[in-house]
Amino acid sequence: MRRRPRSLREAAKTRSRSSVMRARVILLLIAAAATLATGACDRNGGDDSRTRISVLDSAFTQSWQTMQDTGVVYRIEVISPLGADTIRNVIPPAPVVIGDTLIIGLMQVSEDSSTPQRQIFRARLGQHRIETKPMPADVWASYQDVLFSPDGRYIAYVGEDTAPENPGTYAVVRNLANSEIVAKGPGGGGCDCDEDFNHARWFPPDSFEIAVAHTNTKAGWERVSGKASARRIHVDTLTDEPDWH
pLDDT digits (tens, 9 = 90+) for 198-223: 999 999 999 999 999 987 778 889 99
Selection from 92, 78, 77 nearest residue 40 by Cα: 78
135 and 187 Cβ atoms separated by less than 8 Å: no
Which range marks the domain in which residue 218 is found?
136-245
Between these two residues, 35 and 174, which has the higher pLDDT value? 174
Shared domain check, 130 and 14: yes
Distance (Å) of CA 190 to CA 148, 167, 208, 233, 234 = 23, 9, 20, 20, 20
pLDDT digits (tens, 9 = 90+) for 54-76: 999 999 999 998 778 899 999 99
How far does the chain reach from its first CA to its final CA, in angstroms? 26
Q: Where are the alpha helices (DSSP H) in the chain?
A: 6-32
Domain count, the chain: 2
Return d(Cα 28, Cα 21) in angstroms, integer. 10
| CA dihedral of residues 18, 19, 24, 25 (deg, nearest 10) | 70
Q: Is 203 in a helix, a strand, or coil?
A: strand
Q: Domain end: 112, 135, 158, which one? A: 135
90 and 104 Cβ atoms separated by less than 8 Å: no
pLDDT digits (tens, 9 = 90+) for 110-120: 876 678 999 99
Region 166-180: what's the mean pLDDT? 92
- Local confidence band at 194 (pLDDT 50, 70, 90 cut-offs): low
Q: Is a pLDDT exceeding 50 seen at residue 48? A: yes
Shared domain check, 235 and 202: yes
The pTM of the full predicted model, rounded to 2 decimals, is: 0.79
What pLDDT shows up at residue 215?
A: 75
Shared domain check, 144 and 126: no
